[in-house]
Amino acid sequence: MLSTGLVLLVSKPKTGTAILLRPPPTPVPILVNIDGGVQVPGVYSLPVHSQVKDAVEAAGGLSTHANPGSINLVALLEDGSYIYIPIQNSVGDSTTGESDQIYGQSESGETISSININQASLDALISLPGIGPVTVEKIIAYREEQAFTRVEEIQKVPGIGPATYEQIKAYLTVGE
């Protein structure tokens, strides 16, 4: 009898704490701010793994003045993303009567527009390739301190290094 009790004691399964399995959490939608060349700029709630094109669709699509050529429409969005769809640049600034763009031809004969960095509007500057809203604010702050006398001086603006300068130099002028 003693041996039977010993066998039952040893063969009895150990008791432990039960594990509670829960379903995976439902992903919280992300919030994105879209501005510029869309029908209804604003803040939109989108599902996780949304792309820029989804934000454009949520904002009613591109406006007739949109210039989305420098925007990656398939880029994945994160919560808190800011998207700016460039607008086609106007010939003149209606508030000053002066043009912040000069039109000319490249050596290959194609028409290019140059932006006067001493007078350009926020929208004109943000349309430059590789330039975002934060850098535009830095350009405007820099030119308020002192006017640009040469296009190369834009490299003194924090955030604009040689690589960015090479991308944008063909589009810039200082009103020469």
Q: CB neighbours (10 Å) of residue 7?
A: 10
| Cα separation values, 79 from 8, 25, 68, 82, Å | 59, 17, 22, 9
Average pLDDT for residues 147-160, to the nearest whole number?
89
Residue 104 is given by DSSP the state E
pLDDT of the residue at 170: 81
Mean predicted lDDT score pLDDT of the chain: 78
Of the chain, the percentage scoring pLDDT greater than 70 comes to: 82
| Residue 142, pLDDT above cutoff 70 | yes
pLDDT of the residue at 40: 92
Q: pLDDT tens for residues 89-128?
A: 544 333 333 334 433 333 344 434 578 888 888 878 887 8
Rg of the chain on CA atoms, in Å: 29
Q: pLDDT tens for residues 46-77?
A: 999 999 999 999 999 998 888 877 778 888 88
Average pLDDT for residues 11-27, to the nearest whole number?
75
Nearest Cα neighbor of 118 from 34, 176, 39 is: 176
Return the ∠ at Cα 174 (arms to 141 and 166), rounded to 5°. 85
> Which is higher by pLDDT, 175 or 85?
85
> Which is higher by pLDDT, 39 or 173?
39
Alpha helices, H only, the chain: 2-11, 52-58, 122-126, 133-145, 162-168
pLDDT of the residue at 13: 66
pLDDT of the residue at 115: 80
In 69-133, beta strands by DSSP E: 81-85, 101-105, 111-116
Average pLDDT for residues 81-89, to the nearest whole number?
80
CATH node for 101-173:
1.10.150.320
- Report field, pTM of the whole predicted structure over 0.75: no
Integer Cα distance of 47 and 68 in angstroms: 22
The CA dihedral of 81, 86, 87, 90, to the nearest 10 degrees, is: 140
| Cα separation values, 52 from 2, 31, 79, 172, Å | 75, 12, 12, 28
